[in-house]
Structure 1
Amino acid sequence: MKNIWALIILILFCSCSDEDTGENGNDTNNNITPNAPTLVTPGNGSTLTTQVADEEIYFEWNPSYDPDNDVVSYYIEVAYDSSFNSISSQLYSSVTYNTIYLYPNQVYYWRVKSKDSNFNISPFSQTWSFYLEDGLAPTIPQLIFPLDETECSNNDLTFYWNESTTQNGNSITYKLYISTTPDFSNGVDIYTTSNTEYNIQLTQSTAIYWKVEATNGTNSSFSEARSLYTQGNGTSNTMPQLDYIFPEDGMSTSSQSILLQWQAFDNETSSVNLTYKVYFSELGQELQLVDEGYAINTYTANGLNFNTTYQWSVWVTDEDGATNVGEVYTFNVDF
Structure 2
Amino acid sequence: MKKKNNLRFLFATVSLFFFVSCEDILEEDISGDFVNTIFPKEGDTVEGNTVQFLWNSLEGAESYTLQVYSNTSLVLDTTVTTSNYEGTFTSSLYEWRIKAENNGYETQYTFPESFEVITSLDLTNQSVILTNPSEGLYTNNASIIYAWEALVAAETYTFELLKTETSGTTLVYLEEGLTTTSLSLDATVMDQDAAYSWRVKAVNATSETSFSSRNLYLDTVDPSTPSLVSPLFEEEFLLSDNIAFSWNFPNDTGAVNSTITSYYEIASDESFTNVIESGNSVATNFDYTFSSIGTYYWRVRGEDDAGNIGAYNSNGKLIVNE
- Could you tell me the TM-score, scaled by structure 1's length? 0.31
- Could you tell me the TM-score, scaled by structure 2's length? 0.32
